[in-house]
Amino acid sequence: MDISQVFENNKQWVAEKLKKDQDYFKNLAQGQNPDILYIGCSDSRATAEQLMGVDPGDVFVHRNIANAVPNTDLNALSVINYAVNQLSVEHIVVCGHYNCGGVKAAMQSHDQQTLNPWLCTIRDVARLHETELSEMDHEKARYDRLVELNVQEQCINLLKIACVQDTFLSNKLALHGWVFDIRSGKIIDLEIDFDEIWKDFRDIYALS
């Protein structure tokens, strides 16, 4: 891509927005009030706004390799804290996607150098669910399933965070685990039962 084309695209985008609403950017500059925090993968094919069909200002976004929520990552924790405590979002979505390069890398026995600590988050998911994954005959099926299990475990990690735990238990916050099927363009709701998950581990992870 010729990087100068980005500026041309920007001009066209601005013109299109102003054609529909002369006050579009004036209103946008007033502040943000999104209802959703979206935690997704950094993959260039899985952009939050496009796949959700939303506009700037509609969703607060955090993206990283394989949509991870490590409880030691200050970047993710800061985003989540700001979204919950300052923006008062009503929903947090963790969205993975099939054909995820980060998940695939975690499945391989290779030294990924500086990626190794990050990939351990996904490898831990594979270890927790080793029995289920080992019973699958096809690598592609294991790959897809690990994408789904990774979303589930990252959602569980969300519930370990104090601000998320408090608002979730106060019925002020809903959590969602999704997978973007990059082969069809559809979003799949994994329909994770967070109430049941909380019952299973509250004795260990409850903070109040």
- Assess contact for 66 and 150: CB atoms under 8 A: yes
- DSSP-H helix ranges across 160-187: 162-169
- Note the pLDDT of residue 113: 87
pLDDT (0 to 100) of residue 1: 79
Helix axes 162-169, 74-81, angle to 10 degrees: 30
Q: Provide the CB-side half-sphere exposure for 66 (13 A, CA).
A: 29
* Domains defined for the chain, CATH in brackets: 1-30 (no CATH), 31-195 (3.40.1050.10)
Percent of the chain scoring above 70 in pLDDT:
100
Tens-digit pLDDT profile for residues 168-206: 999 999 999 999 999 999 999 999 999 999 999 999 999
- Looking at residue 179, what is its pLDDT? 97
Q: By three-state DSSP, how is residue 71 classified?
A: coil
- Catalytic residue list: 41, 43, 45, 97, 100
